[in-house]
């Protein structure tokens, strides 16, 4: 079975933040609780754009606060095509 | 669009002895190509190394970073000072006096307060270094 989009995104986030995927709760605030910073957010965004062939405008970076919100954002962007 | 040295100095804040590009051959928000002619008179060759001049890898990265500033300025015309955040690089061949580095940079993601770009340097069509470089401006933290 192909990995779900949730697992894929969690893996990208975990790799950039250098934590184990299992240690990141989907609703934890990535900056305040997980220890990410704005440059990591940019790296995550660049990786997502490459993987899913989407373009996310700069203003949406501040919405990427939790893994669940990132999943939501990617799904919306994919629907828009 | 070709930029000569005085045009380049309007876009990047570095000056002698830290100007690491001589001319820009091509500049657009999608791609910038610059050249750096490496001469025996470079200050750093005096100490790196005596009797065996090799351009320091850190300065090869600096040439990529300065070309990256030109790339950023093609999209955002502002006076922000940009700082290096991360560099993932590979060096394939040393740079020595007489070499002409051709530095090509392309954006991965370019935003007003930070960005990531790819850089490749060739000498006589042979790739000698490559890097993925992230940078941020002073106000990047406020996101």
Q: Is B102 a catalytic residue?
A: no
pLDDT for the residue B141: 60
pLDDT tens sequence across B19-52: 999 999 999 999 999 999 999 999 999 999 999 9
3-state secondary structure chain B: CCECHHHHHHHCCCCCCCCCCCEEEEEECCEEEEEEECCCCCHHHHCCCCCCCCCCHHHHHHHHHHHHHHHHHHHCCCCCCEEEEEEEEEECCCCCCCCEEEEEEEEEEECCCEEEEEEEEEECCEEEEEEEEEEEEHHHHHC
The DSSP letter of residue A33 is T
Which domain, by its residues, includes B78?
5-142
pLDDT tens sequence across B104-131: 999 999 999 999 999 999 999 999 999 9
pTM for this entry: 0.90
Domain assignments of chain A as residue spans, ordered by start: 5-80
CATH number for the domain spanning B130: value is: 3.10.129.10
Cα nearest neighbour of B83 on chain A: A39
pLDDT for the residue A80: 76
Cα nearest neighbour of A44 on chain B: B109
Residues A46, B116: C-beta atoms closer than 8 Å: yes
CATH number of A5-80: 1.10.1200.10
Residues B143, A38: C-beta atoms closer than 8 Å: yes
Residues A42, B111: C-beta atoms closer than 8 Å: yes
Provide the number of CB pairs (under 8 Å) joining chain A to chain B: 34
């Amino acid at each position: 079975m192909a990995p779900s989009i949730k697992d894929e995104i969690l893996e990208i986030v975990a790799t950039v933040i250098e934590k184990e995927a299992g240690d990141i709760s989907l609703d934890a605030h990535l900056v305040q609780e997980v220890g990410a910073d704005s440059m990591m957010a940019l790296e995550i965004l660049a990786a997502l754009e490459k993987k899913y062939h989407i373009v996310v405008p700069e203003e949406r970076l501040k919405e990427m606060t939790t893994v669940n919100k990132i999943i939501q954002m990617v799904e919306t962007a994919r629907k828009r095509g | 669009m070709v930029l000569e040295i005085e045009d380049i100095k309007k876009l990047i804040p570095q000056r002698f002895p830290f100007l690491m590009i001589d001319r820009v051959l091509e500049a657009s928000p999608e791609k910038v190509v610059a050249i750096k002619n490496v001469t025996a008179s470079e200050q750093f060759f005096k100490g790196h190394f005596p009797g065996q001049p090799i351009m320091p890898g850190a300065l090869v990265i600096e040439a990529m970073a300065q070309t990256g500033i030109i790339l950023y300025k093609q999209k955002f015309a502002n006076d922000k000072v940009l700082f290096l955040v991360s560099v993932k690089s590979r060096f394939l061949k040393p740079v020595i006096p007489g070499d002409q580095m051709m530095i090509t940079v392309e954006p991965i993601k370019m935003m007003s307060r930070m960005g990531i770009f790819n850089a490749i340097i060739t000498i006589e069509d042979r790739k000698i270094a490559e890097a993925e470089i992230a940078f941020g401006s002073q106000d990047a933290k406020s996101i």
